[in-house]
Structure 1
Amino acid sequence: MDNYSILCIREEPDLLNCAADWFHEKWGIPREEYYKSMNQCLLNNQSIPQWYVAILNGNIIGGLGVIENDFHDRKDLSPNICALYVEKTYRNQGVAGRLLDYACSDMKKYGIEALYLMTDHTSFYERYGWKFLCMVQGDGDNHLSRMYVHRAP
């Protein structure tokens, strides 16, 4: 499936409200938090935060963000991929991999060579060139989660 586009919110400001609603629906984080972060990427012209969506026929089918810290105790491991989600209908078709690659390439334009992400998944991110780094404590979590790193070639 190659007929979808990956767009950066900073380049498509008309997607701001729709994207904030979509991420809120997927993750349950208050819509205002997504809106504020996405609006910040429009106003600041800085590398962080950034938000990306995969669009098919005018609908968001996947997305992710890049923020300073994805709510964990290792503040030195920054910036972080966050909120990666692909609609169930479009999973196992490479959408997540393309979103990850796109975000990594875009961040490299800003001179950011390493990105981090926290997850409970095992063996998913390795397919896309991510390497397990260490275990981290998520804010408010009683368990440790896996921290991965991706370094630009």
Structure 2
Amino acid sequence: MEILKLREHGKLLDKASIWFHSKWGIPVEAYKESIGECLKNKEIVPQWYLVLEDKKIIGGAGVIENDFHNRKDLSPNVCSLYVEEEHRCKGIAGKLLQYVCDDINSMGIDTLYLITDHTSFYERYGWTFLCMVQGDGEPDKTRMYIHKKAK
């Protein structure tokens, strides 16, 4: 298993965009645009990451300003975290989350947020429930978690 920073692997732009689209249903072009911004290396956010095994994508995640919710002040957000079903329960998501946090922390950002429907998954990896937020165009509120770098 290998975790890659897409900003260092631009040749994977199309493959990554298609893979993320297949998991979340967000248009391929939206992923291409965001990953393309990551490749420019001008801003810390957005950032995108892939987990590869034998050159096959088995997981991924991103960091964007806002993951489609009303709390624009809670930024940046980890988004699109996904691990292929046959690779779950092996600690891959936890390793990826830690890798993402460490990478973003190394760029000077010590606090990350994420929204999720999961109620106990992220706590295992140092995330803390913060509040409920309204998703863009969603009828129900969803859970917002926070991760702060240990001092």
Same fold (TM over 0.5): yes
Q: What is residue 40 of structure 1 aligned with on the other side?
A: 37
Give the Cα–Cα distance (whole angstroms) in 2 for the partners of residues 94 and 45 of structure 1: 32
Cα deviation 1:21-57 (Å, max 9, x = unaligned):
1001111110000000000011143210000000000
Give the Cα–Cα distance (whole angstroms) in 1 for the partners of residues 140 and 74 of structure 2: 18
Q: What is residue 47 of structure 2 aligned with on the other side?
A: 50
Percent sequence identity over aligned pairs: 59
SS at match of 2:39: helix
Instruction: Check the 8 A contact 2:65/2:76 in 1, yes or no.
Output: yes
| Unaligned runs of at least 5 residues, structure 2 | none
Matches within 5 A, 1:1-153: 4-153=1-150
Q: Which consecutive aligned stretches of 4+ in structure 1 deviate over 4 angstroms post-superposition?
A: none
SS at match of 1:15: helix
* TM-score between both structures, scaled by the size of structure 1: 0.96
RMSD: 0.6
| Unaligned runs of at least 5 residues, structure 1 | none
Structure 2 counterpart of 1:90, one-letter code = H
How far is 1:110 from its partner?
A: 1.1
* TM-score between both structures, scaled by the size of structure 2: 0.98
Give the Cα–Cα distance (whole angstroms) in 2 for the partners of residues 32 and 74 of structure 1: 25
